[in-house]
Amino acid sequence: MTIVATRWSFQHGEIALGRIGSAMMISSRGALVSACVLLTTMAEAPAGEQKTLEAPCVVDAYLRAHAQTMQADAGPASVDAVIKLVDKQVVYEHPGMGIRIETADSYRQGLEAFLGATDDGHYEVRDYMVSGNAVAICLERVFKSEAVGDWLEKSISKMMVFEVNDGKIARIIDYW
């Protein structure tokens, strides 16, 4: 069995790429550069790793699109951008709240229910790991919510697990 590992260090963290046999793993700790951007700009990723690179890139696009739904002026177009990234039969689960949503249409309704409730929303990725089509992320969801006429900043520490199939997010498990 062949084991290959590469590590890139940056001012604010590092990204590691490892391969055990034909399986590829990506992890990051505090890096400002996403593995998606770093790995897809490499001269040539080995042919067998192209499929693995798909999952973090789709999840990166999802987090960016979802952050746009957390702006005070967000509208249906923001939700459309998120829905384009999920499978028609997507499953969203929040075990702590006992929530399970199935299908993109139902997920859309959930996103639309919160439009305008937050502002200045974004995600701060703390750590993540990619294994095949699965991406696990530890992150902070930072946003402002209105309370008694003022916008107050809030932060929620959470872990999310994404499963990506054929370029679309098939399952999201949200822990917080």
Q: Answer for the pair 55, 132: CB distance below 8 angstroms, yes or no.
A: yes
Determine the 3-state secondary structure of 174 from DSSP: strand
Percent of the chain residues past pLDDT 70, beyond the cut: 70
Domains and CATH numbers, the chain: 51-175 (3.10.450.50)
Q: At what angle do helices 50-68 and 76-83 cross, to 10 degrees?
A: 160
> Is pLDDT above 90 for 141?
yes
> Is pLDDT above 80 for 53?
no
What's residue 131's pLDDT? 86
| Mean pLDDT within 132-160 | 91
d(C-alpha 162, C-alpha 136), whole Å: 6
Burial grade of 78 (CB within 10 A; 0-12, 13-18, 19 or more): buried
Q: Answer for the pair 115, 78: CB distance below 8 angstroms, yes or no.
A: yes
> Is pLDDT above 80 for 157?
yes
| Mean pLDDT within 122-148 | 89
pLDDT band at 150 (very low <50, low <70, confident <90, very high): confident
Q: Answer for the pair 107, 86: CB distance below 8 angstroms, yes or no.
A: yes
> Is pLDDT above 60 for 84?
yes
Question: Would you state the structure tokens that stand for residue 1, as one six-digit string?
Answer: 């069995």
Question: CA nearest 85: which of 161, 162, 157?
Answer: 162
Would you give the DSSP letter of residue 34? -
Mean pLDDT score of the chain: 79
**Which of 16-20, 61-65, 140-144, 163-167 comes out lowest in average pLDDT?**
16-20
Q: Answer for the pair 106, 113: CB distance below 8 angstroms, yes or no.
A: no
Q: What pTM value is reported for the model?
A: 0.75
pLDDT band at 54 (very low <50, low <70, confident <90, very high): confident
pLDDT tens figures, 96-131 = 999 999 999 999 999 999 998 999 999 998 888 888
Beta-bridge mates of residue 24: 19
Could you tell me the CA-to-CA distances from 128 to 26, 101, 104, 106, 175 in Å, in that order?
Answer: 8, 24, 25, 27, 14
What's residue 6's pLDDT? 44
Query: Between 47 and 129, whose confidence is greater?
Result: 129
Burial grade of 162 (CB within 10 A; 0-12, 13-18, 19 or more): buried
d(C-alpha 89, C-alpha 106), whole Å: 10
pLDDT band at 26 (very low <50, low <70, confident <90, very high): low
